[in-house]
Chain A
Amino acid sequence: MTDAKHVIVIGAGHNGLACAAYLAKAGRRVTVLEAAGQVGGAAVTREFAPGFRVSACAHFSYLLDARIAKELELARHGLATARADLRTVSLQPADEHLVLNGGTVEAGRVNEADRAALAAHHAAMLKFARVLGRQHHRIPPRLLGGGRSNAIGAALLAWDIRRLGRDDMREFLRVAGINIFDIVEESFESPALKAALAFDAVLGTNLSPRANNSMLALLHRLSGQASGTAGGVSLPAGGMGAVSEAFAKAATAAGATLRLSAPVKQIALNGDRVAGVVLESGETLAADVVVSNADPKRTLLELLGARHLETGFVHRIRHFRTKGMAAKLHLALDSLPGFPRLPAALAGERLVIAPDLVYLEHAFDAAKYGETSPQPALEISIPTVHDRTLAPAGKHVLSAVVQYAPYVAEASTDAARAQLLENTLNVLESYAPGIRGKVLASQLLLPADLEREFRLTGGHWHHGELALDQMLMLRPVPGAAQYAMPVDGLYLCGAGTHPGGGVMGCAGRNAAQAVLRAERA
């Protein structure tokens, strides 16, 4: 036991826990240090009002890696699904609501041509997303140098694109770098359908539908699976915190030690090699390897310190784009809100308020100047329809991603929060008349709040924007995309590394492999 290398993992987010589990399984002595009093990072279930619990940041599971779930036996460790294969219901202000199930229109005023186009679009997107999905378990290759494993990695990536076949490869190369706006405008007529599809591409990003890169964000979103459905969305029993708890049990079962309420103050060096960490409490822990689940900026600029890094590298890290644009709304409701024209059976599906492209674009326009969206777009979950453990009997919880909410300076957050809450409730009231009267308690987390609550620099829940210039071998920055940092013994394992955000676990698994591979080398 004492001979085994000691690895410290900073942060018990799902990726930190996954990394710890794999390293412990490989026989390493692993200690996970978590600043908060519970595990999970941004995949966490919290009580936001007495008796009401909610997935406090991420609220749906759509990317959880099937291989990791199997390898770490997450089901045996308690992970269950409250509801699989959620439909998307795009609420319409005055028309029949649009109900989408993958590539099928189940309800809504959509013509035959659009229905056929949707089936084709969905199939094509899944096919292209699979190219990204195949990269999830790979350490991104460097484009020059780095020896044989890199050359093989680069060749595999090229082959994954190539094997799409001539026509699909051409289409993939055409659409991968551009925007969802042009794609839906090319293929569809229904404004509601266009907007519902476009919203998926900009969810959680700092992009408007017209902005290039939004296709890539969509493909990322579709690159995984949920409950066996590619591109599906599901609701874990007990909220997203239950996913993290399953990861934590897997890690401890493999032998990792978990310490909560143990915030790390500093990564300690011995010469130019990692020596361990110093906790806020002053306690020093020695380690051979430190893996950080914290975001890249926090890890390198705060915990390590820019003075230990080369200037050009620091420059790149500083410009890693981490400003969040999505806020999170939690409402404790006295009873289930009523949405006119929506069958009650559909109230627990994934509800979307983004009636047309102009609505989305205008919501973004305000935010890009640092102003509050007058009419934000929403992704809504009422998890209590499927999961009664989250609220007192008869009561409900509404959880919504609110876009767009610019990152504003600490001083003006209170005013911005009040304004955005008011705007959001007004939008909700227009789709669910009477909902304001049912609100028992509310909580709105702006990007600045997410930054504070979950220690996410900039409040971006993917740790950093998912764009062409911040993906694969460019994530978080060139020279740090292979999980190993320029300081010996220091690794990153969070969403700020490949393959990015979403509760997936792959970054943690890949980082563990990078650690093990470096030992062998």
Chain B
Amino acid sequence: MPQNTYDAIVVGAGHNGLTNATYLARSGLKVLLLERNPWIGGAAVSREIEKGWTYSNCSYVCSLLRPEIFRDLELARHGLQVVPYGGGVTLTSRGDILGSYADHELKRREFARHNAHDGDAYDRYSTEVMRQCKFIRPLLLRTPPDPTSLRPRDIREMIFLSKEFRKLGEQVIYDTIRFYSMSIADYLGEFFESDLIKAALSGSGIIGTALGPYSPGTAYVLLHHYMGDVDGSIGSWGFARGGMGAVSKALASAFKSFGGEIVTDADVVRVLVSGNRVTGVACANGNEYRAKTVVSNLDPKRTFTKLFDPRDLNADFVKRARNFKIRGSSGKLNIALDGLPEFPALGKDNPLRFGDMHFLESLAQVERAYDDWKNGTWSKLPYLDLLIPSMTDPTMTPAGKHWMSVFVQYVPSTIQGKPWTDEDRNGFKNTVLDMIGRYSPNFKSLVRHVEVRTPDIIENEVGLTDGNIFQGDLSLDQMLFNRPFPGFAQYRGPKKGFYLCGSGTHPGGGVMAAPGANAAREILHDLRRPNLVPEGWHDD
């Protein structure tokens, strides 16, 4: 094979690009993985910004990573270790707390402490959500069927889906349809009375989503945050030891073990097309690489509006790509601390302090935070998901020091249509620091360095259009066989030999690795090579 010629080129070394490339390499193909940044990992990355501190700069906790892939690619052997953090807590301005224990019985009692009825409701709620998790989990590692197609593969898959559906039983089928289209507020309202409990649970319905808790469609987003697991404990979340970059590192190690090649600082600017098929890619520095298979880990909008010459694509398709909904609504602060902040409401020894912390009062507070976003500014009382991973993983900071990760919802990609200024960013930072300071008196005095991550920064650095953390909104029109666009949900692009493998494809965002694996299955199918990608298994 001549130099610079490969069997397959994967553009973008995010966790899905890495997963995809690994499966292709494992199949014996000569695979090149190109990454624009000097480092790999996309949004699953650990970097040292403040000397001595390692931040998970973007994604910060792990649960969705498919266990089938974790085992199949032997990621543990390649160095990945996920430590569950077990629960979390919501602090209110009145000094009360609502503990979210990993243990079901403890959590039920905690809910009952706030509202006797809601304790019982929690039993019903967790049963129903678990039922939905068990329904969706086996579907994550499958290629969505095209409902308009009569090809045997699609028909077989439709039959499989309808069988899975029938297994639920009639009433649960109805519940499932309702669940996928309701607002998280309405859904929680069917179980709980306490506004605080509803507010605390609503968080999973809005993270990363440009919708408020009152907006229909947010109940599904909740499922998207519940359907993962750590070591088989469904709905649990954990820290990757060494930060989320450890996931990418382990995948890269697996990729290299199969002979894969990674080139960083390789900014792909054009997918080369000849007639109806792709022939390779061109980089900003003039380097060209050839392959009959090109896979993009970039989001669908960026892929089709930036990497392709519009003349190579059909106008309707370009319109589809331009209209792909990928709205930035989240930001993040990574904070280096000189010591451990105290949260008096929580107490020094409360085990909940190892988990995620929220500051909430009511559903209306979260909805008003969304109103601010709609009006083109960051939330004045944002929803925060705050963790101190260094309490669990001391490798992240110097001894006695800590790193705090603060996820912030809602943050727009522009301020009233104008680009973020330094002043805006400072205002945003202070909004968040002040909010934490209200619950932790010594917090501000411990702050040593703050990395402010607004959607525009995330877009510039990671490449996610508008800074959308899921590579595209998780709404009904962009799910399953509609993701990213109707007719293109089976990972194939509009040109022969071109594929998508990022979170912009089914089953969507989160550090899941499922889109990358599913895309690899389709590529191997097209190349008439044996399938190596696991198809998902049922939980016991």
Contacts and interface: CB of A to CB of B under 8 A. Distances in A.
Interface residues of B, number: 36
B215 A144 contact: no
B487 A170 contact: yes
B155 to A, nearest CB: 13
A71 interface: no
Contact of A144 (B169, B181, B189, B190): B169
Contact of B177 (A174, A210, A468): A468
A381 B288 CA distance: 66
Nearest to B179: A469
B476 to A, nearest CB: 4
A469 B182 contact: yes
Contacts of A312: 171
Q: Nearest 6 CB-CB pairs, A to B?
A: A177-B476, A478-B174, A170-B486, A468-B181, A469-B178, A144-B170
Contacts of B186: 319, 321
Interface in B201-218: 211, 214-217
B412 to A, nearest CB: 14
Contacts of B148: 162, 166, 169-170
B214 A212 contact: no
A269 interface: no
A173 B146 CA distance: 11
A178 B477 CA distance: 6
A467 B174 contact: no
A29 interface: no
A173 B215 contact: no
Nearest to B316: A167
Contacts, number: 89
Interface in A462-484: 467-469, 473-474, 478-479
Given A144-B166, A212-B475, A173 B486 contact: yes
B174 A473 contact: yes
Contacts of B452: none
Contacts of B476: 177-178, 212
Contact of A368 (B169, B214, B481): B214
B174 A174 contact: no
B49 interface: no
B147 interface: yes
15 contacts: A142-B170, A143-B170, A143-B173, A170-B486, A174-B486, A177-B181, A178-B477, A207-B216, A212-B476, A213-B216, A315-B190, A469-B178, A474-B174, A474-B178, A479-B171
Contacts of A368: 214, 367
B216, B325, B367 interface centre (most CB from chain A within 10 Å): B216
Interface residues of A, number: 36
A175 B173 CA distance: 22
B482 interface: yes
A182 B211 CA distance: 13
A473 B176 CA distance: 13
B320 to A, nearest CB: 9
A140 B48 CA distance: 59
Nearest to A145: B170
B215 A469 contact: no
A368 B374 CA distance: 15
Contacts of A473: 174
Contacts of B147: 169, 173
A173 B479 CA distance: 11
A174 B477 contact: yes
Given A174-B482, A473-B174, A479-B171, A369 B216 contact: no
Contacts of A207: 216
- Specify which of A166, A169, A315, A361 lies most central, judged by the most chain B CB atoms within 10 Å of its CB: A166
Nearest to B219: A469
Interface of B: 147-148, 166, 169-171, 173-175, 177-178, 181-183, 186, 189-190, 211, 214-217, 323, 325, 364, 367-368, 371, 374, 475-477, 481-482, 486-487
Interface string A194-214: 000000000000010011110
Interface in A239-269: none
A469 B184 CA distance: 13
A356 interface: no
B216 A212 contact: yes
B317 to A, nearest CB: 12
Interface string A167-200: 0011101110110001000100000000000000
A365 interface: yes
Interface string A140-171: 00111100000000000000001000100111
Interface of A: 142-145, 162, 166, 169-171, 173-175, 177-178, 182, 186, 207, 210-213, 312, 315, 319, 321, 361, 365, 368-369, 467-469, 473-474, 478-479
Contacts of A145: 170
Contacts of B374: 210, 361, 365
Nearest to A165: B148
A182 B374 CA distance: 14
Given A182-B477, A478-B175, 10 more contacts: A142-B170, A173-B486, A178-B477, A182-B323, A182-B325, A211-B216, A212-B181, A212-B476, A213-B216, A321-B186
A143 B169 CA distance: 9
Nearest to A216: B181
Nearest to B374: A361
A467 B216 contact: yes
Nearest to B485: A174
A175 B475 CA distance: 11
Contacts of B190: 315, 319
Contact of B371 (A143, A211, A315, A365): A365
A171 B171 contact: no
Contacts of A469: 177-178, 181-182
Contacts of B182: 469
Nearest to A164: B148
A173 B173 contact: no
A516 to B, nearest CB: 25
B367 A175 contact: no
A210 B216 CA distance: 10
Given A170-B486, A468-B177, A478-B171, A211 B215 contact: yes
Nearest to B488: A170
Contacts of A321: 186
A211 B343 CA distance: 37
Contacts of A369: 364, 367-368
Contacts of B173: 143-144
A321 B211 CA distance: 20
A78 to B, nearest CB: 41
Nearest to B215: A211
A213 B323 contact: no
A468 B183 CA distance: 11
A210 B215 contact: yes
Nearest to B327: A182
Contacts of A474: 174, 177-178
Contacts of B487: 170
Nearest to B186: A321
Contacts of A166: 148
Contacts of A177: 181, 217, 475-477
Contacts of B217: 177-178, 212-213
Scoring B171, B175, B186, B477 by chain A CB atoms within 10 A of each residue's CB, the highest score goes to B477
B206 to A, nearest CB: 14
Contacts of A169: 147-148
Contacts of B175: 478
A207 B166 CA distance: 32
Contacts of A144: 166, 169-170, 173
Nearest to A144: B170
A479 B169 CA distance: 13
Contacts of B215: 210-212
A173 B481 contact: yes
A211 B217 CA distance: 8
Given A169-B147, A213-B216, A478-B171, A186 B482 contact: no
Contacts of B170: 142-145, 478
A478 B170 CA distance: 9
A469 B186 CA distance: 11
